[in-house]
Copies of this chain bind each other. A is one copy, B any other.
């Protein structure tokens, strides 16, 4: 191993990617025993908080395209985790809801993920956490400003 990180690690962007990568890996490890991917978990969590979300809304919330979310929803419907009406009650929107099995597995998954997040925040004071929260939100807003 040569010397790693001379100037790149001084970049907030690089560190942001590193943190997100580490968090994703930790979540994958935590969710693997349950047979869930991170995207599937995000989808279930979104549905628990906002029942009846459309596929496109779920896609935006999970940061994937609506096409990817569509195949994911079909699989989760087949597995009995979510339910969608066969036909759209209004327009083309197919409102998705948690099935009992989905609610059950989400409960376990949520506990695992919460443990990961707690571990991630250990050593940070509440003040530091809220400061980081504000900083990240500021970054998101600034980046979205022009990128549309």
> Are B2 and A136 closer than 8 Å at their CB atoms?
no
Of B8, B26, B128, B133, the residue contacting A45 (CB under 8 A) is B8
Q: Give the distance in Å from the alpha carbon of A147 to the alpha carbon of B27 in the complex.
A: 10
> Are A129 and B26 closer than 8 Å at their CB atoms?
no
Give the secondary structure class of A's interface.
helix
User: A88 contacts the other chain (Cβ, under 8 Å)?
Assistant: no
User: A90 contacts the other chain (Cβ, under 8 Å)?
Assistant: no
> Are A12 and B133 closer than 8 Å at their CB atoms?
yes
The residues of B that contact A140 with a CB separation of less than 8 Å are 15, 18-19, 22
The residues of B that contact A119 with a CB separation of less than 8 Å are 142-143, 145-146
> Are A142 and B123 closer than 8 Å at their CB atoms?
yes
